[in-house]
Structure 1
Amino acid sequence: MLRRRCKCDNGAKYTRAGGFTLIELLVALAVFATMAAMAWGGLDSIARTRSVLASEQDDLRSLMHALGMLERDLRAAVARPVHGNYGEDVPALIGGSDKLEFTRLGFANPAAEQRSNLQRIVYALDGARLVRGSYAVLDRAPNTRAAMRPLRDRVGALRLRYLDAQQRWLGAWPAPTNDGPSAALPRAIEIRIEVQGYGEITRTVELVSDFPAKFGVAAP
């Protein structure tokens, strides 16, 4: 605000207050609005970037969790065949190109129940979803079903291969020409999984073949 000094006819001096003009106010408001919009746009961009990064981190964490669980389960695999729903013999590990079933060691038992510390595990591709299943018992009754839960969405493909004792990669296990015992495990399993946004991820998991001798795992 401007103040101007004036002199009256009688010689007295007084001060007259002068304000901003309408144009000056409009210009000031326009400048303020522009700066506020720029500041808000910058903050909104930062917030959206942080949200996208957080979402991507959560997505990557979910993928690593799923792959890590599969690898841990396989490293704990044991040569323990089971009985199927109708009493048939089921190999310790049976797998195809996109499905895998095996027995693993380390079934937690915090309640000290009267049951084995072994568990039958299933991994499969259900549509575009990687799922993991587990059986409450090893040797199943006719109505025994695996409890399935999703591990990862947006999976385009799951490809599994099995390394035998002759260092050959097979598309199924046990091999159709395998005359060995059903308790045998492959030397390693190659996992190839296609995930939207990440492409194809490959993992090779070596199985521990001496679990039966070390832990007394025996066939039923």
Structure 2
Amino acid sequence: MMLNSALAPKMGSYRAKTSGFTLIELMVAVSITAVIGVIAATILSTMLANHKQVLHEEKSLLALERALQIMRSDIEHLAIRPLIKSINQDENYVPSTDQNQIIGDESRLEFSIYSQQPSSVEIEQSLNRVRYQLIDGALTRESIGTDYPSPNQEWRSDILLYEVTELNFSYFYDRWENSLLNDKKYPAAVRISLNTKRWQAFDLIGKMSGVDQ
């Protein structure tokens, strides 16, 4: 009995020591917690960066889609008007078109569009002039509310798309041409090809209604 009572304090002291943490154990635990925190912060930062990149890509695609839709809508509403001239008893006369109504080459396109706007009384009809070109790396649409603008009139300028590296127009007759053909009828369609710093090789074809081939 005396032996057991003598060992009791020592065993209790041993249990007390083993139930706590040594300084080394605490340092290891703190280090592990710190590493886990760094990993978690890195993962969170990467997730946020990826999410931001996805949003930026989505915004860029929406801007590209909007620009192409506007251009196609304009081309499909291009005003087709015949050139009025005297036949002069020419048996070989072929009705032509007013080439001034559409002006363009491989890098620039200008034409008139027909539009309708509802009002409180009736549907208002109008002819407006638009032109597309690349200015300082930006796809630019210029417009003016008349079919015959004078040289001193100011055009409205809207940037549809930034960071455009290449813009090309081609015109379909019997085949695709890089420029409008003089003394010919209107092209049946216009193809817009563009490259941007982010997106490459986008083609859009706008069919011109009212053109006979």
Partner of 2:109: 100
Partner of 2:178: 171
One-letter amino acid matched to 2:105 = G
Work out which structure has the larger RCO, using CA pairs closer than 8 Å and 6 or more positions apart in sequence: 1
Separation of aligned partners in 2, 1:204 and 1:73: 12
- Equivalent of 2:158 in 149, 164, 170: 149
* Unaligned runs of at least 5 residues, structure 1: 1-6, 82-88, 211-220
Label 1:21 to 1:64 Cα distance change in 2 as closer, same or farther (>3 A). same
One-letter amino acid matched to 1:171 = N
Separation of aligned partners in 1, 2:144 and 2:168: 23
Q: Deviating runs (4+, > 3 A) in structure 1?
A: 15-19, 107-116
Separation of aligned partners in 1, 2:108 and 2:118: 27
TM-aligned CA deviation for residue 110 of structure 1: 5.7
Label 1:50 to 1:101 Cα distance change in 2 as closer, same or farther (>3 A). same
In the TM superposition, 1:41-80 aligns within 5 A as: 41-80=42-81
Partner of 2:88: none
* Unaligned runs of at least 5 residues, structure 2: 83-97
Kindly report the root-mean-square deviation, in angstroms, between the aligned alpha carbons of the 2 structures: 3.0
- Assess if the C-alpha contact under 8 Å between 1:104 and 1:118 holds in 2: yes
Label 1:112 to 1:161 Cα distance change in 2 as closer, same or farther (>3 A). farther
Label 1:155 to 1:107 Cα distance change in 2 as closer, same or farther (>3 A). farther
**Normalising to structure 2: TM-score of the pair?**
0.75
Partner of 2:21: 20
SS at 2:201's partner residue? strand
Separation of aligned partners in 1, 2:117 and 2:53: 37
Between 196-205 and 124-133, the greater mean CA deviation after superposition: 196-205
- Assess if the C-alpha contact under 8 Å between 1:100 and 1:123 holds in 2: yes
